[in-house]
A = this chain, B = another copy of it.
């Protein structure tokens, strides 16, 4: 398994340099240009599957969309340990570090017998920035 090819490097770099932005395959195809040449979508898909297995990126589908989005995981961050908030408006992903979450997770486990899977769970809503912008309208 080789992970240091030019295409893989460029794609991973794009995603890891913008960890709070989500990319469609089309976005990646448009933004990653090597020597003036676009990367074929087949290669992009294969690369994304590879990185997802390595837990370097997350894949998810935004409700209402009909295609997948991919997002880089910040280096050294273990995304199975905290919650994620996703803004409906701007698409931003927020890695939430907050004490109360452990309480919440424990409550769900003890009172409802439900073991939350943090890697899959995404809390949708409206972030501060978008709320302010929306209020200004």
Binding site for B on A (CB under 8 A): 59-61, 63, 66, 68, 85, 88, 94, 96, 98, 100, 104, 107-108, 111-117, 120-128, 131
**Which chain B residues border A59 with CB–CB below 8 Å?**
63
**Which chain B residues border A126 with CB–CB below 8 Å?**
114-115, 117
B114/A94 in contact, CB under 8 A: yes
Question: Within the assembled complex, what's the spacing in Å between the Cα atoms of A96 and B88?
Answer: 22
- The chain B residue with its CB closest to the CB of A123 is B121
B104, B114, B120, B125: which contacts A104 (Cβ < 8 A)?
B104
**Which chain B residues border A61 with CB–CB below 8 Å?**
61, 63
B125/A117 in contact, CB under 8 A: yes
A124/B128 in contact, CB under 8 A: no
**Which chain B residues border A66 with CB–CB below 8 Å?**
68
Q: Are A98 and B124 CB-contacts (below 8 A) given A59-B63, A60-B63, A63-B60?
A: no
- The chain B residue with its CB closest to the CB of A126 is B115
